Structure 1
Amino acid sequence: MTATVPAPALEPRAGRRCHNALNPLHSVVYFSPEYDDDLAAIGLERGAMAYFAGRAAPLGAVSAGTVTATFYNFNHAIIAPVVPRAWELATPGAVVEARLRVADAVLTRLLGPEVIASADLADAARLALRAAEVCTREARPLYAANADLPVPDRAHLALWHAATLLREHRGDGHLAALAAAGLDGLEALVTHTATGKGFNPRFVQRSRGWSAEQWAAAEDRLRERGLLDGAGDLTDRGVELRREIEGVTDRLDRAPYEHLGAAGVDRLTSLAGALTHRVLGNGGFPLQYFGKG
């Protein structure tokens, strides 16, 4: 009798690496000129209104408070003037349709027709959708709202939809980890930018609607907790807290990648990474907004 060879175990950070490779394929739409153009064409204002309405539309015609709660690190003061007024200008259904048109246009422009029609892209969509099969709705409002949307027929849009599901599933869990760590939305931004990863502080402060005074007050609170030093860098305790937060996020987001299996996760990470590399190479993101500077 032949012994069954067990499947390779999933490495602890394999899901995080896969998410990091896949997530830019979702978020690139928000940095595109097509995004504001298309949402303005259906009646929304460019900028804050277009962004908040576009990401919140699957939730329905929700209040400003709901958007603040589910987005976590944006100042309520920049959300309240545009939500729910956005729903008087365009229905959530029209906004959902518009953002899918944007995803179509942006991915086609940045990846090119040959890549859009490739077997690798279709395989990436298949794997990402499979991973999303076991995502759970409980306590994950942005994921749950997007999970109620139909899967698009075309492979590149199915991939964008799956990337959205996996992004919001991980994001909702990440917010739970931040809250459990005792970080409010602004403190979460300050500590994250202090790691030197993701957006730089100047862009984050401006785009999330926080004043210099509010940012400085958050830094003071973090110093009192021993998480930030006088220069605005994380202390050892701060580094450890961010590590713990990411570890909790990984644990809460492990199910989709366990479902896909180690080989599937490696394959999806490789495929998504190649697509993201092409998106970056074709100018999909304003790189001056990233880093610690």
Structure 2
Amino acid sequence: MLGVLGLGGTTPLPALVFGRQWEWLTYDRFALWGAIALLPLAGIAISHLLSLRIAAGRVLAIAALTGVSLFAGADAVMSVLGPALPYQRDLQPIAQFMNNGRTAWRYQTFGVGDPGARLGTMTPATTIDGTYYTARRVPVLARSGIGMLDAALWWDPSGTTLRRALAVANHYSIRWAFVLDPRYGSYLHAAGFVPREPLPGGIEVWENPTAPRLPAAALRFGVPDVQGVLWGTLPLASFALVLLLAAVQSVAGLLEPNRKRQTTPVPSGLRPQAVGSR
């Protein structure tokens, strides 16, 4: 089932299982867990084929192992020969700027793209944006139908969503905006942001001087919910359980011949007789 879900919208299954939410989900995660779940079964199948006396079975197993090895090797070589992603802009100037006593306010990037999500690992400062669209709880974004606010004008060229988001900048303590796309400048200016000295790499800095500090509660992590804990533990726990059961079965298979040898009765005619006994 995970493998079929990993095919995304090419099958009707996601729409049947998730309803209208299927349009928001990313399905590579289902393909990944489907592949991991199939690993023990694939290992058992190949082991069975190798144990067959039929030459075709062994050839099929060797061909499967060779194909997987070639695919893994080609993937590893490609990552060494060159980057898998386009040019990644250096975000260290933004992180240093925020870490210099400005983490009590939120920030927002415009025109940085998906790599902007890495800022979350470089600074304790927060943002209302992110790449996990369906987890957003900010109403203006949850109801917007767009992806990242960073690319608001790409999703909504009219700028309606961008204006609505900037209108609540004070409510969410968004004081700093980092811009790599000049189209966002007029929208920021209309929302009360003022330009500051740019950062290295041509990164424009805009400040919202009226933005209040974040409350102390907003700077702490919330209590994890049950669904979040299960999402992070059940897949790995299931995989570990499958490995454990496979290991137990293998050990039991190794011990079974010894147990049979120990319990097989020896015929009375073959038992050693004491000297002088009848």
What TM-score do you get using the length of structure 2 for normalisation? 0.23
Greater relative contact order (Cα 8 A, min sep 6): structure 1 or 2?
1
TM-score calculated relative to the size of structure 1: 0.22
Judging by fraction of residues, say which structure has more helix: 1
Q: Between Structure 1 and Structure 2, which shows a larger proportion of strand residues?
A: 2
